[in-house]
Structure 1
């Protein structure tokens, strides 16, 4: 398998996902986005449509809700840092692409992927990365000092909440994805 990258990767499940023809209306509704039916990951999660629906609505609210709070590039940064720390190559590739695109800072994102979560970053990104990584640690290392650093970097309560939600969601999502399959360098494996 490839290392950390911004390339599009495939994902191969270790369990048998539903096939697209097996998806019922309830499964398709749970996917929320019809395009997700092409992904073996989402077809595998569709075996429990109620949980998938709740998971997807939560994911969408964390990353696409533009009603204040943390800007999208930094939500993606939190997911990238968490995924990098957890070793989830697939999730890191997806969210690194978004973070680089929306922030217009591909060199900083590349440094995070290549050198790891301790790589040099500016103050605001450093605070977001450090808070995200502390939330991903087991046991959790997140504390008041992370809140203080986020505040000092200019984040208000809603932005801090968004940082925590993005990191916490991907801490869970990484562990789920890593326990159900593995990334592949062949994107066709994810079709």
Structure 2
């Protein structure tokens, strides 16, 4: 149920984007650059980070959409819920585990991050560019989680499946094109 009277009764995020295109277009452009442009992490890994952060925040909408997106892009099915339940036992790979640990801490207790947290990411083989991308994906999805929750956006598994496949096929630039429809 939307918190904005100008949105439909059961809106999805595209309804917010269509209602407010002036603020949505630049945001979607940024998503495209960060989530689909050249980066140290694959598209699937960036979607994994987005889904993980959204799960830490208990944002069911973003967690659902980006879990499906990560899986259709190549992340093992069930890896994201497993990582949220027990990161050390989750099938996410030893190089991604410290990255997820870092973005989890950045999400939960940002002022508690230490140089040792960053060093753990580097020790797993990532450089400063990768750490930067992890921070930026984390920051973007903390923003998006608050945007979704603040507007009262929700959806279910059918929508998550549809949206995840659409994101794989068209990226975020495709969402910007949908604003013209």
TM-score range, shorter chain: 0.7 to 0.9
CA distance in 2 between counterparts of 1:185 and 1:127 reads 30
The Cα shift of 1:138 comes to 4.6
The Cα shift of 1:96 comes to 1.1
Query: Cα 1:120–1:140, aligned 2, differ >3 Å: closer, same or farther?
Result: farther
* Paired residue secondary structure (2:95): helix
Query: Cα 1:77–1:182, aligned 2, differ >3 Å: closer, same or farther?
Result: same
CA distance in 1 between counterparts of 2:113 and 2:74 reads 25
CA distance in 2 between counterparts of 1:69 and 1:17 reads 40
The alignment's C-alpha RMSD in Å is 2.7
Question: Moved runs in structure 1, 4+ residues, more than 4 A?
Answer: none
The Cα shift of 1:18 comes to 5.4
In the other structure, the counterpart of 2:117 is: 146
* Paired residue secondary structure (1:184): coil
In the other structure, the counterpart of 1:43 is: 15
**Structure 1 unpaired stretches of 5+:** 1-11, 20-38
In the other structure, the counterpart of 1:61 is: 33
The Cα shift of 1:165 comes to 1.0
Matches within 5 A, 1:69-80: 69-80=40-51
In the other structure, the counterpart of 2:4 is: 15
Query: Residue 120 of structure 1 is aligned with which of 89, 98, 103?
Result: 89
Query: Cα 1:40–1:93, aligned 2, differ >3 Å: closer, same or farther?
Result: closer
Query: Cα 1:140–1:103, aligned 2, differ >3 Å: closer, same or farther?
Result: farther
Query: Cα 1:139–1:60, aligned 2, differ >3 Å: closer, same or farther?
Result: same
Kept in 2, the 8 Å contact 1:78–1:129? The answer is yes
CA distance in 2 between counterparts of 1:80 and 1:42 reads 18
Kept in 2, the 8 Å contact 1:18–1:46? The answer is no
CA offset digits 1:33-52 (Å, max 9, x no partner): xxxxxx64233244443221
CA distance in 1 between counterparts of 2:39 and 2:136 reads 14
**Structure 2 unpaired stretches of 5+:** 164-181
CA distance in 1 between counterparts of 2:157 and 2:127 reads 41
TM-score, structure 2 as length reference: 0.73
In the other structure, the counterpart of 2:146 is: 175
